[in-house]
Amino acid sequence: MAEATQPLTSVTLGATATVVEIKLPPASKPRLMEMGLLVGTPVELVRFAPLGDPVEIKVRGYHLTLRRHEADQIWVRTTAAGTG
């Protein structure tokens, strides 16, 4: 895939990407960041829940679930291979 920024939710399942921007309101950002999701953090889109929402991602070696609504605001750049 080309080096382009896109929302986390549109990445191929199982692919690793790097966070480039978190476009969430200031009040919602801190906890997400404390959970380890920062600009520059590699993140993998694992799956969507059976009903299509929420999203399961893998970050810093553990699994985290977010709503699509928030995950859509996390912009990532896909990398050639998962470097962890």
Partner 1 sequence: MTSSRSANVEGAASSRPVGGPTYVVLTGNPNSGKTTVFNALTGLRAKVGNYAGVTVERKEGRLLGSPEIKVLDLPGTYSLAPQSLDEQIARDVLLNRLPELPEPALVVVVVDASNLQRNLYYATQAIELGYPTLIALNMVDVAEANGHQINAGKLATTLGVPVLPIAASSGRGLPELRKGILSALNQKVVTDGRRGGARFCQLPGPFAKESGAIADLLAAHFKEHRRQAAAEALLILSNEKALASSLQHYPKAIQDAVDAARQRLDAAGVEWRSVAIEARYACVMTIHQAVVVETRPNDETFSDKLDRVLTHKIWGTLIFIAIMALMFQSIFTFAQIPMKAVQDVVDWFGGVVARSIPPGDLNSLLVGGVIAGVGAVIVFLPQILLLFFFIGLLEDTGYMARAAFLMDRLMSRVGLHGKSFIPMLSSFACAIPGIMATRTIESPKDRLVTILVAPLMSCSARLPVYALLIAACVPARAVFGIPKLMQGATMLAMYLLGIVVALLMAWLFKKTLLKGETPMLIMELPPYKRPLARIVLRHMWDRSKIFLRRAGTVILGINIILWGLATYPRDASVQIKFDRERIQLLKPAFPQVQSPADAVEKIKQLHAATNQTNTPEVDALVSQLDDLDKQEAGEKLRNSFAGRMGRFIEPAIAPLGFDWKMGIGIVASFAAREVFVSTMSTVYSVGSYDKSDIGIKNLAETLRQQKHADGSPVYTTLVAVTLMVFYVFALQCVSTVAIVRRETNSWKWPIFQWVYMGLLAWGLAFITYQGGRILGLG
Distance between CA 63 and CA 84 in Å, rounded? 14
Q: Where along the sequence are the contacts to partner 1 (CB under 8 A)?
A: 26-36, 38-39, 47, 49-54, 56, 60-67, 69-70, 84
7, 70 contact by CB (below 8 A): no
Alpha carbons within 13 angstroms on the beta-carbon side of residue 50 total 0
Of 11 and 37, the one with the shorter C-beta distance to partner 1 is 37
Shortest CB 71 distance to partner 1, Å: 10
Minimum CB separation of residue 1 from partner 1 in Å reads 20
